[in-house]
Structure 1
């Protein structure tokens, strides 16, 4: 594969800042939001708004307001996608010589091995807790009425052709894999058009709007990775902007306004859904992406938010976030099945600690070893001979960050 640009100078490469641990914390919180989201959807009243039915007055305040952020599962996945675009692109850009030959096997191992193990967990749970849904179950739970078959398991294992209801949370991994394969193109766009970042962002948002209007899932989700990727060349500029905000007379007020604005934008689908009209929903999809992107940016530069995201508990969640995302949904469905019809509200109280415990064990037994294997494969391919490499230009006056 040919180089996409001229080499980075070694002086700038040596000045690269350390990894933003706050982004790990943000990923952990996003994973917890998804767990809460699915745990609440077992309750028919909480599932109803996702079916286009007006929420009951008792939960309208938690549905049609920015408070929805605590159980906004779809929007949390948007954060995942933007984070992936940012982190992977930055990891390429900060490397003086990046090997694509080593990248592909190691990246795919890192994704697929935990996914395959999580399918096994889901099938095992379905064996011991058969999915026999009743009239009192929510529409979301009934949507998991899946029979384990060879083709359905194979489809989940491949990912790129879609996923079944065995562990429907895997739907987002389809786009993670496709993005990972397309990473050279994403990096090329981020490098070549870094000075036209506003054009890249605008084109991405237009693609999201078109995908939402036409129900084309590739257009709905893949542009989010580009939104994250185009941030990568500008991380130091973001940090300098944050430093300037801290010099203002009332920086806390400015930061609070930005954070509240990001939350409002991220949950705009729900606040705007009180207004009818498909055009509103297309607009909301764009606003949600803007809000999710702003949350990612604030996680890098907002001092108070950075400290919160880098706390020990939140970083623990970040460390097991992938495992938590992979294993939680079959657990939520199984717990819902075991509870009596009138006790579904207990799902949240039970599913969160059980999911955390299983995710930690899964991380130790599966995800952690898969990371080590991935690194070994990467290092072996680097050491075994000449590899196809891509190198990036240093920004004028600004070292690359990641």
Structure 2
């Protein structure tokens, strides 16, 4: 039994729910759209840097920023991943690490590889000149010359590399892949062994350790994807897993509280989610990444709680358009910036920026639907097939030893 701990995560208690939470799919889609809007607006110099326009600053430095809170959306993704990935581990079935890892790699990595190859092709196909009227941030994208080393690092997510070279959104996928591969061990040794208070304390400790080490040993070029900051982001996955573990308790409680209290919780969620923009943004020591991310996490948790307990919100999130965006959110995340860059190359001098945005959005949706059907779903199918093959292989390897003992 002791030798099998790292290959087979055994019964972990609770009751596994095979149904999918469609509300969370829709929330993921909405979060992906805020990333898209952030990148659209960040093309504008007035949105990328401080503006003298009062209306622009109101949108930037108030809870209204929730409409284009791209970084916050990534924290939201991490918490949602922790929630969804943890559900099978609360069931009565064995979860073998090898089959889990194979499915997870196929789900994240295969669609990523296709997208990064397209991004590399796009980067090599156009000149590296600046776009007139665009922000420094946007003009800094897709600038690196193609090298085999960079391609190798991007293809295999190896080492600490310039993630902005071809498609800047990959930084979050680097952490997602790292944490996904160790997630079963987090579940086995932490979430399912300890009560929620100790588990949350472990998450905070990991967050502090990762943040401190990252500040000491990373450079401006590596601060976003260093291994140490991955330790910090593990905490967000643990928060999601805890939320899933105790879902029956808080769903029951939240449904039975007064409507005014639930609405208050939603408002607190909005304020927490946008905390870094409206709460004295000029005071740096209260906006360390460590602090901001935990306040953002509070907002994300409240959104999840509200979406699963409010009938009105659940009905809104069940709309077909939102479910479509939710299903294709991974591809939207992977491709929108590539599409925007291509249209800026072709039309920046000939079309108004708002027309480029509309074209980008339409093509991104069409491309994402195609990628979901022809890349994501086949990747999932490969993962399931491989996982079954691995399980059969492990069962056949165990059979002779069982006969020997008898």
- Counterpart of 1:87 in structure 2 is 84
Alignment partner of 1:258 is 2:265: yes
The residue number in structure 2 matching 1:60 is 57
Specify the alignment match of 1:228 in structure 2: 240
Counterpart contact for 1:23–1:83, Cα < 8 Å: yes
1:308 corresponds to 2:320: no
Deviation at 1:39, TM superposition (A): 1.3
Which secondary structure does the structure 2 equivalent of 1:230 belong to? helix
The SS at the match of 1:136 is coil
Check 1:123–1:277 CA distance in 2 against 1; reply closer, same or farther (3 A cut).
closer
Counterparts of 2:149 and 2:110 in 1: how far apart (Å)? 19
The question of whether the paired residues in 2 share the 8 Å contact of 1:125 and 1:331 is answered with no
1:351 to 339, 343, 360: 360
Q: What residue number does 1:278 align with? A: 285
Displacement over 6 Å in runs of 4+: none
Report how far residue 202 of structure 1 moved: 4.2
Contact 2:45 2:136 (C-alpha < 8 Å) held by counterparts: yes
Moved more, 103-112 or 288-297: 288-297
* Offset at residue 108 of structure 1 (A): 0.9
Match of 2:371 in 1: 362
Task: Answer yes or no: is the 8 Å Cα contact 2:44–2:133 preserved in 1.
Answer: no
**What is the TM-score with the length of structure 1 in the denominator?**
0.85
Unaligned runs of 5+ in 2: 217-222, 399-406
SS of aligned partner of 2:17? coil
Q: Among 75, 86, 96, which residue is 1:99 paired with?
A: 96
Residues 57 and 230 (structure 1 numbering): CA distance in 2 closer, same or farther, change over 3 Å? same
Distance 1:96 1:337 in 2: 52
In structure 2, the partner of 1:394 is none
Q: CA deviation at 1:130?
A: 3.7
The CA distance in 1 between the partners of 2:233 and 2:396, in whole Å, is: 31
- Identify the residue that residue 392 of structure 1 maps to in structure 2: none
Local SS of the residue matching 1:165: coil
Q: Which residues of 2 match residues 314-333 of structure 1 at below 5 A? A: 314-333=322-341
Measured in 2, the distance between the counterparts of 1:17 and 1:181 equals: 22
C-alpha separation between the residues in 2 aligned to 1:172 and 1:195?
Answer: 26
- Distance in 1 (CA, whole Å) between partners of 2:79 and 2:388 is 27
Deviations 1:137-176 (A, max 9, x none): 2112122112222222221112252434201111101001
Distance 1:227 1:106, change over 3 A: same
**Secondary structure at 1:385 match in 2:** helix
TM-score, normalization by structure 2: 0.84
SS in 1 for 2:394: coil
- Residue aligned with 1:39, SS: helix
